[in-house]
Structures are given as C-alpha cells and as structure tokens.
Amino acid sequence: MDLTNLFRGRKVLVFGVANERSIAWGIAQTFHKLGAQLGFTYVGESLERRVRPLAESVGSDLILPCDVTDDAQIKAVFDEVREKWGGLDVLVHAVAFANREDLEGRFVDTTREGYLLALNISAYSLVALTRHAMPLLSQSNGSVVTLSYYGAEKVVPNYNVMGVAKAALEASVRYLAADCGPEGVRVNAISAGPVKTLAASGIKGFRGMLGFAAEKAPLRRNITLDDVAGAAVFLCSELGNGVTGETLYVDSGYSIMGM
C-alpha cells in the first residue's frame, strides 16, 4: 500500500475550520499532503476572511458558506459538491457550539434554549450533513468522521451541556453507522484530548484542563493536531476499512485512568 498517495484523487469536504488552530485544519493539512482534493465551509464573513486564505493555500476550489442550523444552506453545499465534484469520499465534521454561560456554573441551570442550541449545532448537524452526503458517499465507499470529547462519558467541570451534546453525537455516530453501513459508508468519531482552539476558549478554566490532562495522561503530554490528523487518516482511508460506529480516543491515554 502506497501511504504517501493514500488520499490521491479523494474528495474531502471539511466543516469546522475557523483558523489555523482548528482541529479541522490539522486534519485538512494532513489529507492535503496525502493527495486529497479539499473543500471547506465557513460561517459568516469574519470567518470567511480566515478560512479562504487557508483553503486557497491547499489549492481548494470549493469554499462555501454553511451555517449547519440552516437546512437550505446545507442543501446548497451538497448541490454544489455534486455539480462541481460529482462525488465525495470523505466528510469531516468538526463543528460544535454552546453559549458561553452554559460552559460554566451548574449544568442544572442550562436553559431550554441553550440546551437545544448546543444539541442542534453540535450533534444534530452530523445527522443532517450525513443524510445530504450519503448519495455521494455511497458511490465511493466513503466515510464520515466527527470530533468528540471525554465529557460525553464522564462529568468534566464546565463542559456541561456540551458533554450531553457529545453523548448525543457519539450515539448518533453508532446509529448513522448502522444506517450507512449497508451502502458501504463508514461513520466514526475521534474523541480528542484538550487542544487550545477558538471553541475551547469558550470553556471556563480550559487552561487548567490542558495542564491536568498533560500531568495525568499516560503519555504525560497534551495531544497535537497531527495526533488527531493521524487517527483521521486511519479512519477515513482504506486503513480503517473494517471500522465503523467507533469512537477512537486520541487523548494521550487520559481516558483509561481510574485515579
């Protein structure tokens, strides 16, 4: 198997690049090095100014607006992908949002609006994007990968409603994998350790989480964007052909520790 050409000619659509620190950008750069053709989406004009130059630096010919709460925008993206590329091999979903006030204090104080917003953007979006992508992905035994976090499974201070959203996301991965598998499409999640990004800056005490994870994890360090990208390469290429519905931890081993 020629690993340097693992993604040669593969069409990869990436949701969730905000800037050069984004986990999605780490994945995109690695896929680019392995020969992928990349498309990107962004939300709003200020992020477009960040995303467009990054996308152009990896030769992207598909840079489209998409707020994942808007079904019309999602449809427009996949109409454009079908028209321009005629197919799709990989969908990268690295999208999440919760109100800042819901990422501190007590979970029990989460409002209905805050709860629904976090679940809508961070979990339901995977279902909507996968549904639209399926007709394209099924032509090429394609795959979907999303990003989760340990707070889906255990209580992490201040992660609050996002932990519930990630639990829904991981369960959605399993149900989507069951639906999409018969058509040859795989759906997996990477549960990443903490990484300093724009989204992470919304979590109160995030710096403390980084330090704690590096101190307690078996590998005694925080993970890098390359660590996550390596797992994404595995899951989204033929290397991971037998894997679907899985949540793969890329967290320096933090999640195995009991005490």
Contacts to ligand NAD by CB under 6 A: 16-18, 22-24, 43, 47, 66-69, 94-97, 121, 147-149, 192, 194-195, 197-200
Name the burial class of residue 86, with classes exposed (0-12), middle (13-18) and buried (19+) by CB atoms within 10 angstroms of its CB: exposed
Bridge partners (DSSP) of residue 41 are: 15, 64
Nearer to ligand NAD, 157 or 181 (CB): 157
Cα separation, 136 vs 139, in Å, equals: 6
Nearer to ligand NAD, 184 or 204 (CB): 204
> Minimum Å distance from CB 152 to ligand NAD?
9
Give the amino acid at 209.
Answer: M
> Minimum Å distance from CB 65 to ligand NAD?
9
> Minimum Å distance from CB 50 to ligand NAD?
9
> Minimum Å distance from CB 26 to ligand NAD?
8
Nearer to ligand NAD, 6 or 129 (CB): 129
> Are residues 96 and 151 in contact, defined by beta-carbon separation less than 8 angstroms?
no
Cα separation, 259 vs 247, in Å, equals: 22
> Minimum Å distance from CB 116 to ligand NAD?
13
DSSP code for 120: I
Neighbours of 124 (CB within 10 A): 17
Active site residues: 149, 159
Nearest to 172 by CA among 145, 193, 151: 145
Nearer to ligand NAD, 128 or 243 (CB): 128
* Long-range contact pairs involving 210-213 (C-beta distance under 8 Å, separation at least 24): 213/251, 213/252, 213/254
Nearer to ligand NAD, 1 or 72 (CB): 72
Name the burial class of residue 67, with classes exposed (0-12), middle (13-18) and buried (19+) by CB atoms within 10 angstroms of its CB: middle
